[in-house]
Amino acid sequence: MSRNIELIRNFCIIAHIDHGKSTLADRLIEHTNTLNKNKMRAQVLDDMDLERERGITIKSHPISITYKDYTLNLIDTPGHVDFSYEVSRSLAACEGALLLVDASQGVEAQTVSNAYLAVESGLEIIPIINKIDMKHADVESVKKQVIDLLGCKDSDIICISAQKGIGIEEVFDSIINRVPCPYIKPEKGTRGLVFDCVFDKYRGVISYVRVFNGEIKKGMTAKYFANSSIHEILEVGKLKIDKVALDSIKSGEVGYVITNNKDVSDIQPF
């Protein structure tokens, strides 16, 4: 994991249902050898049975991948219209967003909603047209729709097939060249955003955190501004497919924090 702030990119993928968000995430993970090919499976970030059955992402699944010298933190987002609040939490932890649009279905309601959320969050938006290899793909028509939505240029739009791996290198290059590195405010102390959390029956509450200032280490205490609760930090680390413990997570980085807290209700993300 890079400790050079200029080599970190925090981004998410936003899309309407079934426009290929999980498949694109699979290709990014596969392309960087983040997961051994023998363990690779479709929709690797969707680990809930319902997610895999319906092809709909429900929970946020952050993961850190390495491309060349860069650390790319993919903060996955729910894809259903009912989870706009969860999407907004993930956007708050990012500097950029890949806006994915199906080449045959075009811009749909959730595409518009997610695009507005990303704009309001001040993110750099990279428009991507997916499934260009499909029989009914109408790339030129969809490009016009995207341009009307975002006011971008034709040259700003990337055309890919996540299923076949077409255009994936261009996606990586755009993330590196167009998404800004994290901005660190000149403030004292440590400050981070809990954008999601899960409960582990053995370890208690595991928080997914974007650090904005300072660093978070084992042995520190975490104070949550939502309810002023205070808990001892037992472990911190980065989020690969499995959790990898580190000495600390620092400004601009995304990772997990485990405290002695056993009650999810004590943490109110965002």
pLDDT tens by residue, 213-245: 999 999 999 888 777 788 999 999 998 878 899
**Percent of the chain residues past pLDDT 70, beyond the cut:** 85
Domain 5-178 has CATH 3.30.160.60: no
Structure tokens at 116: 């507005």
Please report, for the chain, the start and end positions of each structural domain, with discontinuous segments joined by +. 5-178, 191-266
Q: Following DSSP, what letter does each residue of 108-127 receive, concatenated? A: -HHHHHHHHHHHHTTPEEEE
Per-residue pLDDT, 37: 55
**pLDDT tens digit string along 162-200?**
999 999 999 999 999 999 999 887 778 899 998 888 888
Domain 191-266: top CATH class: mainly beta
Q: For residue 164, which amino acid is it?
A: K
Least confident piece of the model among 109-118, 129-138, 247-256, 260-269: 260-269
pLDDT of residue 146: 97
Q: What is the pLDDT of residues 72-121, one digit of tens each?
A: 999 877 655 555 677 788 899 999 999 999 999 999 988 888 899 999 99
C-beta separation of 167 from 174 below 8 A:
no
As a whole-number percent, the residues of the chain with pLDDT over 90 amount to: 56
Equal fold, 5-178 vs 191-266: no
DSSP letters along 17-57, please? TTSSHHHHHHHHHHHTT-S-TTT--TTTT--SHHHHHHT--
Q: pTM value?
A: 0.87
pLDDT in tens, 26-84: 899 999 887 655 554 544 554 534 344 444 443 457 899 999 999 999 987 765 555 56
| pLDDT for 35 | 62
How far apart (Å, rounded) are the C-alpha atoms in residues 58 and 78? Answer: 5
